[in-house]
Structure formats: C-alpha cells, structure tokens
A and B are shown apart, each in its own frame.
Chain A
Amino acid sequence: MCRSVILWVLLCTSVAAHEMTPTYPKWSVTQIEGVHKTTMRMFNKREDVKYYEIGVFDKEWQPIPFVTDYKILKLDYLSHVKFDVYISSKNVGRAEYICSLSKLRGSKETKTMIASKICSRFK
C-alpha cells in the first residue's frame, strides 16, 4: 500500500517527463483498402523539448514506412496529443515497435543532454 502511494506521488510529481501509451497498441482496419491504423497518445512534461519524432520499426530495428499527420510532432509543455499512424497492410506483420524520440535543441553550454525515447510494441 505504502509503495503504491509512493509510486503515485512520484508519477504525479515528475519534473521533466516523456510519456507515450498504450504499451501494446493494436492495428485496426481502415475504410481504405490495404491500410491499417493505430492510435497513440503522448504527454510532454519536458519543458526543454517541443518536438518528438515518430518511427515504426521491425524486429531488427529497421524502419518501416508509415504515414502520420506529422512525422515530427510539435507538443508543447504539459500538452497531450492523440495521433493516428497508418501503415500498409502488407507491413502489419513486420511492424514490431512504434517509438517517439525527443528532439533536442542545440546548446551553448558544456554539458550532457538527455534524449528520451519510448517504444511501444505490437504483440
């Protein structure tokens, strides 16, 4: 019980976080023959990041062609977005991961920056 409370507090007080769900998305058919789609949600709690790049990959992390409104999504600080990803039906079986990667701005300081990446998996 105590651990759950601590986890909830941590989840609710994240300072700079990147989040994408669902963990295990599913492809669904569309009205267009030969095209499947899935819907993902993202939340940006990183003040230093405004753009996230979407990618679809196979088991070997090779990129698979896909279509979204924007391949690089603009997501303001503390904003949620729901986006659809379309893929050719012939690639549905190959697609293993769908990922979002934070796009970092250049810096004028001597430092390390942290790129965050979240990958959901098609099972």
Chain B
Amino acid sequence: MNKLLLTALVLGLAGCSLFSSKVEANANITGSVESRCIVNTDTPGVYGNPNAYTLTTTPASGGQKPIVRFDVSLANAYYAQVSYPTSFSSSPSLSDTVAWTGAVAVSQSSGSDFDGYQTASTTTGALRQYAMAHAGTLWVDVQSEATYGGGQQKAFPGGNYTAVVVAECVAQ
C-alpha cells in the first residue's frame, strides 16, 4: 500500500515538474493595436546658399526640403501640424535682421481620401494644421527661406546655420 502511494507521489511530482518547466519555457510577446499617430522624419532639410544673403531649402538653389510623414491609424483622432522655422537654433553671431518666409504643403499621401487636405488645412502664423479625417499616411514638405540684412541684401556671416521645423500630432 505504502509502495503504491510512494509511486503515485513520485509520478505526480514528475508530472508537476514537467508542467511547470513547460510554463517557464513560454516567452510572451505582447502588442497592441490602438489609435496612434507616428511622426516620421523622412528627409532632413538642407539650406542652399544661392547668393550671399539667402539661405533656402529650394532644390533649384542647392537646398533640400525637409519631409515629414504622419502615419495615423484611426480617422478623426489627430491633427497633424507642421511649422516652418522663424529663427535659427544655431548660427554665427548676427548683427542684422533676418527675414523669414516659408510654406508647408502636402507632397504625397497614401490614397485619394487625402486629396483635399491642403485646401482644407488652416494656418496660424508659421503653423499649418491638417485635420486627419482618414486613417493613412500623409507626407508634408517644408519650404524655408531666410534673407539677411533687413532688405539691404547683406551677406550672411560665414559659419553653420541650423533651423528647426516642428512636426506635431495633436489628439483631437
């Protein structure tokens, strides 16, 4: 009788250990599918210097327009907002004024749903806002130009100039 009980106990423990080792071997991978907006910095911009007093991202002047991509997974959940620069974040010492101009425009999208987005967008100063009424992807490029000398066409001092484009996803 004792032998029978002992055998059952041993078999039970062995079964438990097999079971527990199986549980420990599991590696969980968790994830979620939910509303989200992703800001992608697809292309960094470059300023061209077509003349002494202008820095511009226009490709014809040796510049490169920065391109931002917004991926939105749920319709009517986010505003995509992009602002062109209105100051340098780093530059040589500048004694005269810099005049800034810029433009933000849709360059590409993932479907025809986005066709009217540029027309429907709104602006506040340097910021342009797109109401993301559809799930999908929107590419936005930014034109930026800085002119030195307050209309006197003075030459920019030599050195490196950096300006910041702000790309935002704001929940509606």
Residues of chain A at the chain B interface (Cβ within 8 Å): 3, 6-7, 10-11, 14-24, 46, 48, 97, 104, 106-121
- Contact call A111/B47, Cβ cutoff below 8 A: yes
CA distance A11 to B136 in the complex (A): 9
Residues of chain B at the chain A interface (Cβ within 8 Å): 32, 34-42, 44-47, 49, 55, 57, 66, 68-69, 71, 73-74, 77-78, 85, 89-90, 110-111, 135-137, 142, 144, 160-172
- Most A CB contacts (10 A, CB to CB) among B34, B144, B169 go to B169
- Other than the given A19-B37, A46-B41, A119-B171, 12 more pairs (CB < 8 A) read A17-B38, A22-B34, A22-B35, A23-B78, A108-B160, A110-B49, A111-B44, A112-B46, A116-B41, A117-B169, A118-B39, A120-B171
List 10 tightest A-B contacts by C-beta distance, closest first: A112-B45, A121-B171, A116-B39, A23-B35, A117-B168, A114-B41, A119-B170, A16-B41, A17-B40, A118-B169
Question: In the complex, how many angstroms separate the beta carbon of B65 from the nearest chain A beta carbon?
Answer: 9
Which residue of B is nearest A108, CB measured? B160
Partner of A115, one of B49, B135, B165, B169: B165
Give how many A-B residue pairs fall within 8 Å (CB-CB): 139
CA distance A111 to B47 in the complex (A): 5
Which residue of B is nearest A21, CB measured? B36
- Contact call A118/B37, Cβ cutoff below 8 A: yes
- Contact call A115/B166, Cβ cutoff below 8 A: yes
Question: In the complex, how many angstroms separate the beta carbon of A80 from the nearest chain B beta carbon?
Answer: 11
- Contact call A7/B110, Cβ cutoff below 8 A: yes
Question: In the complex, how many angstroms separate the beta carbon of B66 from the nearest chain A beta carbon?
Answer: 5
CA distance A24 to B172 in the complex (A): 9
Question: In the complex, how many angstroms separate the beta carbon of B44 from the nearest chain A beta carbon?
Answer: 6
